[in-house]
Amino acid sequence: MSTHRPPAFFLSGSPGLDFLNTLATPVDTQVDWIDDGHGLLAWLEQAKLVPAKDLRALKARAIPGELDAVAAQARSLREWFRGFVRARSGRRLTADDLRDLEPLNRLLGRDERFTQVVAGPTGGASALEVEQVRRWRTPESLLLPIGEAIAGFVCGGDFEHVKACEGSTCTLLFVDRTRGRARRWCSMAICGNRAKQAAHRGRRKAGP
C-alpha cells in the first residue's frame, strides 16, 4: 500500500467526480488515493467531506484493520459508481436510471443526521443558528458523505456534461461547464500544457 502519495486532484467541478478521480493516471503511473485507511482519512479531510476533529476521533477508536476495511468498501463504491457513469455519461439521466441507484440509496439509508441549535458566529446577525450534525458511530459512517456527494452529482443536472481528459495517459474526469462545452483537459496546467509542448515538438521535428 502507498505511504507517499502526490496531492489529490480536486478539479472535476463536482465532489462526486472527485471521488472517482481518487484512482487516476495523471501522468504515467496509476495512483490510488484511498488504497488504505490512512489514505481514505487523508482524502476525506482534503475534500472537506468530514471535519478533521471527527476523523481524529474515529481513527482513535478504530480497531486494527477496521479503517482499511472501510477503504476497501469505498473502493467498491467507487467502481460501482464508475460503471454507472461510464454507461451514462453524455446523456441526461431519467427516472429509468433510478433502479440502478439502489446501492447508493441503501448506503444513504444508514445515515444518522439530526438538527441542533448552536451558537452562531461572533458578530453575526443572530447569536444562534441551526446546524446539521451527523453521528459518526463507526468508521463505516465515513462512506455517508461520499454517498451524499455522489447523490448531489447524480441529481445536480451536470451528468450529461461529464468528459474524460484527452491527455494521452490521463484518466481524470470532469464536468465541462465552459461556453460551447469546449473543455478538453483536466487542467491546462497539467495535460493542456503537455499537449502544447508535444504539438510544439512535433512542429519543430516536421521542420518548415
Look up residue 116 and give its amino acid.
Answer: Q
The pLDDT of residue 95 = 94
Query: Which comes out higher in pLDDT, residue 192 or 72?
Result: 72
**Nearest CA to 187 among 39, 40, 32, 27?**
27
Report the number of distinct structural domains present in the chain. 1
C-alpha cell of residue 53? 476533529
Tens of pLDDT, residues 16-68:
999 999 998 877 788 999 999 999 999 999 999 999 999 999 999 999 999 99
Domain-located, residue 53: yes
**Pairing label, strands 128-134, 173-175:** unpaired
Per-residue DSSP letter, 6:
P
Query: Which comes out higher in pLDDT, residue 6 or 197?
Result: 6
Minimum mean pLDDT among 115-129, 157-171, 182-196: which range?
A: 182-196
Tens of pLDDT, residues 125-178:
889 999 988 999 999 999 999 999 999 999 988 888 999 988 878 889 999 999
Residue with cell 463504491: 77
Which residues span the domain enclosing 25? 15-108+143-206
**Nearest CA to 100 among 85, 111, 110?**
85
Q: Whole-angstrom Cα distance, residue 12 to residue 148?
A: 16
Partners of residue 55 on adjacent β-strands: none
Domain-located, residue 42: yes
Domain-located, residue 62: yes
Distances (CA, A) of 202 to 89, 98, 133, 197, 208: 32, 47, 56, 9, 11
* H helix or E strand, kind and range, residue 128: strand 128-134
Residue 204 has pLDDT above 70, yes or no: no
Domain-located, residue 124: no
Domain-located, residue 90: yes
Residue 3's pLDDT band, with cuts at 50, 70 and 90, is low
The pLDDT of residue 207 = 57
38-70 burial: b if 16+ Cβ within 10 Å, else e:
bbbbbbbeebebbeeebbeebeeebeeebbbeb
Domain-located, residue 79: yes
**Domain CATH number, residue 155:** 1.10.3300.10
Query: Which comes out higher in pLDDT, residue 59 or 179?
Result: 59
The pLDDT of residue 124 = 78
Residue 110 has pLDDT above 50, yes or no: yes
Cβ within 8 Å of residue 196, ≥6 positions away? none
Domain-located, residue 113: no
